[in-house]
């Protein structure tokens, strides 16, 4: 399979490196299009693929084109792509906020898959929600799913509108997690720990809790109860969270992200 990646920032390269790691594409069949001269030189030094700085006829010789430019940069690349796209090529967009219909219209091409990964994809531990235009057949869809799964896990969504919910929940989700971790570390510092010790206590706690969620045959409520003894320290903290409306605030914030994602999708 030959793949072209247009825009080689963190997410584009997360996909590229995962493809290479799992032998899904050969380096000579991986075309990296990066307009930044400094970034291009860095990619050439890494020898992660064939690096070029412009969209040319060579892009039309690939099986799959991955669009990983910033959404605001799509207008600067779609005309060049429109001129070289071949009928059998599939477009995989990981641009936030741009719906399939708009990509199809701008490119004059029906075979479009839209995906929303998250930053843990850089470690092969991401989760990606994806959907596809009705013109994309099952064979191509399975090939795309296999590629996406190299960066972690994936979930296919029949309804494209749910991509906005994916954006809010898992696309933006790492930032929410970091926010909670940061607050816990700050609490540790206020209780007398230095930065390093507070960070170690919190990060290892989060890591262990994650593995318990995945491996313990218990619900989240049961896991909470296992820590929160009646009248104990954990219960005191949870009561403070509830009185401050922490749960409602988190839910409201995530829904606000979904609303904003929908606004961006509508332009």
188-243 pLDDT tens trace? 999 999 999 999 999 999 999 999 999 999 999 999 999 999 999 999 999 999 99
Sketch out the chain's domains with CATH numbers.
Answer: 3-161 (3.40.50.720), 172-265 (1.10.3730.10)
Check whether 159 has a pLDDT greater than 70: yes
Check whether 249 has a pLDDT greater than 80: yes
Query: Which of 262, 12, 38, 22 lies closest to 147 in space, CA to CA?
Result: 22
45-80 per-position pLDDT tens digit: 888 899 998 999 999 999 999 999 998 899 889 999
- For the residues 142-154, what does the mean pLDDT come to? 97
- For the residues 75-103, what does the mean pLDDT come to? 94
- For the residues 83-99, what does the mean pLDDT come to? 94
Token pair 């092969």 in the structure block, residue? 124
Burial of residue 107 (CB within 10 Å: 0-12, 13-18, 19+) is buried
> Confidence band (pLDDT; 50, 70, 90) for 31?
very high
Give the model's pLDDT for residue 133: 98
% of the chain with per-residue pLDDT over 90: 88
Lowest mean pLDDT among 30-44, 116-130, 245-259: 30-44
- For the residues 30-58, what does the mean pLDDT come to? 91
Mean pLDDT of the residues in the chain: 95
Check whether 267 has a pLDDT greater than 80: no
Contacts 24+ apart (CB under 8 A), 165-169: 165/258, 165/261, 166/116, 166/129, 167/96, 167/97, 167/116, 167/257, 167/258, 167/261, 168/254, 168/255, 168/257, 168/258, 168/260, 168/261, 169/254, 169/258
CA distances from 146 to 47, 54, 128, 152 (A): 23, 28, 12, 10
Give the model's pLDDT for residue 171: 95
């Amino acid at each position: 399979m030959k793949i072209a990646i247009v825009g080689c920032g963190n997410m584009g390269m997360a996909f590229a490196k995962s493809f290479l790691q799992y032998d899904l594409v050969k380096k000579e069949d991986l075309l990296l299009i990066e307009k930044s001269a400094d970034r291009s030189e860095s990619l050439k030094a890494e020898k992660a693929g064939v690096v070029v700085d412009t969209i040319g006829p060579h892009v039309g010789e690939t099986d799959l084109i991955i669009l990983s430019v910033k959404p605001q940069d799509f207008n600067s690349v779609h005309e060049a792509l429109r001129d070289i796209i071949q009928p059998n090529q599939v477009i995989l967009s990981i641009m936030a906020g741009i719906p399939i219909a708009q990509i199809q219209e701008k490119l004059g091409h029906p075979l479009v898959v839209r995906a929303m990964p998250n930053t843990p994809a850089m470690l092969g531990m991401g989760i990606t929600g994806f959907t596809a235009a009705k013109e994309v057949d099952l064979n191509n869809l399975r090939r795309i799913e296999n590629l996406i799964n190299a960066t972690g896990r994936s979930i296919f969504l029949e309804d494209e509108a749910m991509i906005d919910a994916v954006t809010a929940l898992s696309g933006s989700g790492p930032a929410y997690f970091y926010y909670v971790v940061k607050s816990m570390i700050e609490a540790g510092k206020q209780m007398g720990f230095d930065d390093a010790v507070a960070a170690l206590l919190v990060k290892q706690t989060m890591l262990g809790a994650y593995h318990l969620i995945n491996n313990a045959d218990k619900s989240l409520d049961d896991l909470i109860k296992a820590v929160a003894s009646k009248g104990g320290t954990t219960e005191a903290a949870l009561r403070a969270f509830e009185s401050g409306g922490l749960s409602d605030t988190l839910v409201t914030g995530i829904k606000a992200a979904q609303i904003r994602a929908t606004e961006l999708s509508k332009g």
